[in-house]
Amino acid sequence: MIRFEKVTKTYPGHAHAALDQVSVDVDKGEFVFLVGSSGSGKSTFLRLVLREYRPTSGRVYVAGKEINRLASWKVPRLRREIGTVFQDFRLLGNKSVSENVAFALQVIGRSRSDIDKLVPETLELVGLTGKGDRLPDELSGGEQQRVAIARAFVNRPKILIADEPTGNLDPTTSVGIMKLLDRINRTGTTVVMATHDAGIVDQMRKRVIELEHGRVVRDQAQGVYGASN
């Protein structure tokens, strides 16, 4: 589903590569944690999957296509296959919960009847039934992240990318969010999550890819956050 072949990304004006000869294969339906200290290259990895950047060298394949060569007009179609969730939720503050989720479908031209069906279905999936009319700032942080996940998943993307999704949440709330991501993963969606949350990684026992100075230093099935073994 995601394949990196000797991918190097050097930002302009930087001497060191943010990613250095990274080769990784993520299969359909996998759940992968991307770990590593600040600046190790996790966000750069995720942004290359989204084609926010092109690699300096090497190849990135997403859903069978080499995306470096993708024409710019095809990038929005690629991004429809990928849901994204961030630490800071990124909800539209003047829109209700339902409108935030519906908006993701409106911008890609889905019909009113699809929207009327999918939005309540997805709000139920994330445990927000009955909260559709609230505004984001009337919700807790955990609930806001559930809205963000609903918005990311409402179009049933092949891949869900999560960059520190529990970074602003307390441990108990984080566990709830991880259960939700796990449930989404079980529907067949590939999940790649960058995190510093050792407790979560140790608890979930999923594949762990560790980056250090832009290099993969560990790729472990059912891994833990810290030391390799």
Ligand X SMILES: Nc1ncnc2c1ncn2[C@@H]1O[C@H](COP(=O)(O)OP(=O)(O)OP(=O)(O)O)[C@@H](O)[C@H]1O
Query: Judged by CB under 6 A, how many residues of this single chain contact ligand X?
Result: 11
Nearer to ligand X, 56 or 173 (CB): 56
Q: Which CB sits closer to ligand X, 37 or 140?
A: 37
CB closer to ligand X out of 7 and 102: 7
Nearer to ligand X, 51 or 104 (CB): 51
Q: Report residue 210 as tokens.
A: 């560790």
Residue 225 near residue 201, CB atoms below 8 Å: yes
The string over 98-116, giving b where at least 16 C-beta atoms fall within 10 Å of a residue's C-beta and e elsewhere, is: bbbbbbbbeeeebeeeebe
In the complex with ligand X, which residue's Cβ is closer, 8 or 68?
A: 8
Supply the minimum distance, in Å, between the C-beta of residue 122 and ligand X.
28
**Region from 10-18, 58-66, 104-112, 120-128 binding ligand X, contact rule CB under 6 A:** 10-18
Q: Report the residue from 11, 27, 170, 182 that binds ligand X according to the rule CB under 6 A.
A: 11
Residue 211 CB, nearest approach to ligand X (Å): 6
CA angle 123, 126, 128 (to 5 degrees): 55
Are 79 and 161 within 8 A, CB to CB?
no
By CB under 6 A, the residues from 12 to 71 that bind ligand X are 14, 18, 36, 38-44
Q: How near is the Cβ of 24 to ligand X at its closest, in Å?
A: 14
| Least spacing, CB of residue 52 vs ligand X, in Å | 9
Beta strands in the chain (DSSP E): 2-9, 19-26, 31-35, 57-62, 65-66, 82-86, 159-163, 190-194, 207-212, 215-220
Nearest to 139 by CA among 175, 168, 116: 168
User: Rounded to the nearest whole angstrom, what is the least distance from the CB of residue 213 to ligand X in the complex?
Assistant: 9
User: In this structure, what token pair is assigned to residue 189?
Assistant: 């969606």
CB contact at 8 A, 189 and 140: no
Q: Rule CB under 6 A: which residues touch ligand X?
A: 11, 14, 18, 36, 38-44
